Amino acid sequence: MSGGSIADGTLSGTDAEMNMTGDNRLYSLTTNIDDLVLSGICLIANNDVVMTENVVNNGTLKTFTADQTLNISGNITNNGTITNGTYGHNLYLNVSGQVINNGNWINTTSYINGTTDQTITIMDSHEITGDVRFDSDIVTAPYQWKFDDADLDSPDFAGETTSQLDWNVPVASGWLGTFNCMTGSGLSRGIIVMEGVVPPGIPQNLTIEIVGVNVELDWDDLTGATSYTAYSDSDPYGSFGTTEWTGAVSDCTLPIIGDMKFYRVTASN
């Protein structure tokens, strides 16, 4: 879509991509799309936009011409940018599902307010630098927020004895663990902050050469990979369940066993 609006309705389906260029706006819209991918520039134009299921932002998500709130009633993965509007209008997010950040997350405030356990995964040290607030799903005084079962009392936070815990620092690797709020009616759901690493991808340009009684495998080095594993199968469409070799270099030598074998190499970090 280029220079238009989607408004006043519901979009349903699976595996859909909104690829937006130019001035594109979303008004009063609900998306019930499992694995919705946002590309380009997506402008939230009023407070009645709701995204459910799994949302992946590969572009720029921001407000249009005023302060707006986007409601994400599912999971969100950010590989792009979540920010305020061009002219400084605030973008607020309500997120009730799981969060993965692998991009720039710098909008005014994100409210983590689900009713079951939630995770925030920081991929490859991509901090959430916009303000973040954890809401207790149990609203009964008194309140005491806890971190890994201990009472939380740190200048990095505000509101430790209220139903809302505000981060004064970015959500980052300095606070990896489980947050709960002890309330007058018991312990709230858990909000777990963890780190993750983006998989390095698939090794390219695999070559196989028979040298005497051995077979030599060689492939290109892959940025970010710390180890490789070579698998084999007698069927090119098989499960490749036999591990032949694991190591940190991009080549290996294996004995020839049997009449025919096919090989697959994977990378990990």
Q: pLDDT tens digits for 21-33?
A: 777 789 999 999 9
Q: What is the pLDDT of residues 78-107, one digit of tens each?
A: 999 999 998 889 999 999 999 999 999 999
Strand, helix or coil for residue 107: coil
Alpha-carbon distance of 215 to 228, in angstroms, equals 17
Question: Residues of the chain with pLDDT > 70: what percent?
Answer: 99
Query: For residue 150, what are the contacts with CB-CB under 8 A and spacing of at least 6?
Result: none
Q: How many percent of the chain have pLDDT more than 90? A: 82
Contact assessment for residue 220 and residue 200, using Cβ atoms and an 8 Å cutoff: no
Q: What is the pTM of this model?
A: 0.79
Number of H-type helices and E-type strands within the chain: 0, 25
pLDDT given at position 183: 98
61 residue type, one letter: L
Q: Exposed, middle or buried: residue 153 (CB in 10 Å: 0-12, 13-18, 19+)?
A: exposed
Alpha-carbon distance of 44 to 17, in angstroms, equals 16
CB 31, CB 42: distance < 8 Å: no
Give the residue, 245 or 199, on which the prediction is more confident.
245
Residue 202 has pLDDT above 80, yes or no: yes
More confident call, 200 vs 70: 70
Least reliable range by pLDDT among 137-146, 177-186, 256-265: 256-265
